Structure 1
Amino acid sequence: MFTGIVQGVAQVASIQDKPGLRSFRLQFPDGFAQDLGIGASVSCDGVCLTVTELHGDNAADFDVMQQSLSLTTLGALGEGSPLNVERAARDGAEIGGHPLSGHVDFKATLATVRQPENNHVMRIQVPQPWMRYIFAKGYIAINGASLTVAEANRAEGWFEVWLIPETLRMTTFGDKQPGDTLNIEIERSTQVFVDTVRDALDERLGPLMPALEALLRQQGSSPEELAGPLPKLKGLS
């Protein structure tokens, strides 16, 4: 498990392709790998990887399966590429972000970047089926960093996060440009809640669900919002 508090930026030192997988050697910031052991877990841009070999105090090897390469941004990394890293949380450690598994759910695209004074706003375009799990003020993990959703637009399929200077200093986000791809892990308790509500509605309403969903979409709502007060439907008394 990870906390989503990025501990530094590593660089890809070398890449070696092997049958069925790709091996990365990562160069870590000073002090990051102290007491790191073979078999330890490290979040690399939000992907949980296992140390397979150590090289001194600041470098380690990781093997990544083809499926992980295709489902995450790791497949696009080259030598010199930077990535956010965090070591696995220890018992009793302060959870400054929110619990993360290191299992990326999907890739999203950085749509725009705005830079108001002392802030850095990223708008992220999301594949539509995943927007049901993203709510304003809720947690989200982007490239392994625990962040709070500032705004979410389900109809247009995007959400925004605001980053302070310290987050930019400790992560790779300051270098990201529109069009870049990001790893996203949704908050698990939100997923469980939303899926439970959807399953309950589907079980009870059955054949009526397609018509109800279409009606709710016309009103700018969704089945998930039925977990709270029912939306007021136009034209109905």
Structure 2
Amino acid sequence: MQLWLDLADIEGLSIGASVAVNGTCLTVVNISEQGVQFDLIQETLSLTNLDSLTEGDLVNIERAAKVGDEIGGHLVSGHIHCTARLLERKATENNLSLHLGLAHKWLDYVLYKGFICVDGASLTVGEKTDQGFWLHLIPETLRVTTLGEKALGELFNIEIDSTTQTTIDTIKGLAASGELKRWLS
């Protein structure tokens, strides 16, 4: 499958460059008057929300960071682990809270006040639930992303924080082997 996007900023963009689309790292394969083209393989389509895009949909775009660029959140790779479904929205005077439902196998990697990448935005988990987690989005995040535009039931791309995943998997491995008790003694 091919994805064509009309990108506002293509200065310095070349074939082979990486661009995150809704947090998914994609490779530029063509640049023309039609826009910028990306090829989507089955793995990408099965793990992300990109197959649900229709012409005219807005997406979150982020160009690859360069050495020396400020990193305004946690480091992300664009390697999506899964999707999360919007279960509930709560608007308040100063923010929008979103409750995202996540497959049980990924819940161990979601920590209160931990990092998570949602549709390409590096965010902090506001609260963990049995079904997933809450995000509390400030007006600036809503202004510069598409996160607040999703309807109930729609999917968000999720990238789990790699440091959290490595730590949890290491602890689980040590516990399964019996080594955790020895390390804690």
Classify the TM-score, shorter chain: over 0.9
TM-score (norm 2): 0.93
Match of 1:28 in 2: 7
2:148 to 171, 174, 177: 174
Q: CA deviation digits over 1:206-236, x for unaligned, max 9?
A: xxxxxxxxxxxxxxxxx9xx9xx9xxxxxxx
**Structure 2 CA distance for aligned equivalents of residues 139 and 158 of structure 1:** 14
Alignment of structure 1 residues 1-237 onto 2, 5 Å:
22-29=1-8, 32-56=9-33, 59-153=35-129, 156-204=130-178
**Structure 1 CA distance for aligned equivalents of residues 45 and 98 of structure 2:** 24
8 Å contact kept, 1:135–1:152: yes
Cα deviation for residue 177 of structure 1 reads 1.3
The SS at the match of 1:83 is coil
Structure 2 gap segments, 5+ residues each = none
8 Å contact kept, 1:33–1:59: no
Moved over 3 A (4+): none
The SS at the match of 1:90 is coil
TM-score (norm 1): 0.73
- Would you say how many aligned residue pairs link Structure 1 and Structure 2? 182
8 Å contact kept, 1:121–1:161: yes
| CA RMSD, Structure 1 to Structure 2 (Å) | 1.8
**Structure 2 CA distance for aligned equivalents of residues 59 and 188 of structure 1:** 32
**Structure 2 CA distance for aligned equivalents of residues 73 and 82 of structure 1:** 13
**Structure 1 CA distance for aligned equivalents of residues 42 and 81 of structure 2:** 16
Larger Rg: 1
Structure 1 gap segments, 5+ residues each = 1-21, 206-222, 230-237
